[in-house]
Homo-oligomer: A and B are copies of this chain.
Amino acid sequence: GVEKKILVIPGDGIGQEVTAWGQKVLMAIAQNYHHTFTFEEGIMGHVAIEATGNPLPDETLEKARRSDAILFGAIGHAKYDNDPTLKVRPEQGLLKIRKELGLYANLRPIKLFDELLEASSIKPEILRGADILFFRELTGDVYFGEKIRTADRNTASDLMIYHRYEVERIARKAYEAARTRRKKLCSVDKANVLEASRLWREVVQEVAKEYPDVETEHMFIDNAAMQLIKDPKRFDVVVTGNLFGDILTDEASQIAGSMGMLASASVGDSTGFYEPIHGSAHDIAGKGIANPLASILSAALLLDISFGLKTESQRVIKAVEATLRQGFRTMDIANKHTVNDCIMGTDAMGAKVLENLN
């Protein structure tokens, strides 16, 4: 067995409820496969601001640096959403840890479990067989460019900026992945308007030459947002910038039936960081009804990508599949048009997955 240190950061809102299940699944895997996983817990986001005034306390960052992988929940709180003038904000914690750990590549696999074919607002015949792997650049773009508010507070700006090396490294990661899949890569930008996108396109065109076996397509973001719904099957690997990736992957959650099903892996220079795509969801936080599967599937990604434990990772995915096949559903993935499903809360759903792991 392997010995690994895992940092768990539940964060805000439903992060507190679902992350416990990602962790329990990791503990069960450790036991079943004779690995030794030791867990630490860290705070980040609104909970960290409340406790320390800092959305990413140094202590959490230190724990992150000395861990082998990080399982994260969600970030954000209505208080800050309602008051855009607040200076210290939960999201700063998430952005800072991404930057500090050099997590420049955010992988977001979008795949529909057959059992959920009817849960989406999109027609089953459009969805069947869709399987997309997004590479979202995560440490550049308008997220990290200089932010200015004039003294009179009447003008505000953010710099959308990309450097050649940033585009190169994420493009390479995406092409490498495309090679192991259906060998199609779609790069998304807005090169007809934005200079940063023109650099993006130039660099991807260059990197493409190193991968003549992969078919490259360039698409404008507006068109991509449309094609994703019109014909999701046309996509294999999609690579795009931080902002466009944020938008497209949330949109793509509808291909997987629900946001509550989607996991992501952020990787780069060192420790990998795993989190559901969904946010803190204040509207349902504390009610015990959030879907724990995105956290559990994030744990599966962690096992695979950070620890190289492919069998264990597949085991988790199979347990999720089995749970769905048995008809168990959280609210977000219930099929409103049949009464066969058994709708349950976060803990009951998590427990079913654990049962199916054994």
**Contact residues of A with B, CB < 8 Å?**
76, 80-81, 84-85, 89-91, 95, 121-123, 126, 142-143, 145, 147-149, 153-165, 190-202, 205, 218, 221-223, 225-226, 228-231, 243-244, 246-251, 253-254, 259, 279
Of the candidates B123, B160, B222, B226, the one whose C-beta lies within 8 Å of that of A159 is B160
Residues of B within 8 A of A199 (CB): 84, 149, 153-156
Residues of B within 8 A of A254 (CB): 226, 229-230
**Are B160 and A164 neighbours in the complex by a CB distance under 8 Å?**
no
Q: Report the bound CA distance from A145 to B160 in whole Å.
A: 10
Residue ID in chain B nearest A198 by CB atoms: B84
Q: Report the bound CA distance from A76 to B247 in whole Å.
A: 24
Of the candidates B126, B157, B193, B248, the one whose C-beta lies within 8 Å of that of A121 is B126
**Are A145 and B161 neighbours in the complex by a CB distance under 8 Å?**
no
> How many copies of this chain does the complex contain?
2
Residues of B within 8 A of A122 (CB): 121-123, 229
**Are B202 and A158 neighbours in the complex by a CB distance under 8 Å?**
no
Residues of B within 8 A of A165 (CB): 154
Knowing that A154-B199, A155-B164, A158-B195 touch, tell me 20 more A-B residue pairs with CB under 8 angstroms.
Answer: A80-B192, A84-B191, A84-B198, A84-B199, A84-B201, A89-B192, A122-B229, A148-B195, A149-B199, A156-B161, A157-B159, A157-B161, A221-B247, A222-B247, A223-B250, A225-B250, A226-B250, A226-B254, A229-B251, A244-B247
Q: Report the bound CA distance from A322 to B63 in whole Å.
A: 66
CB of A136, distance to nearest CB on chain B (Å): 11
Q: Report the bound CA distance from A254 to B222 in whole Å.
A: 12
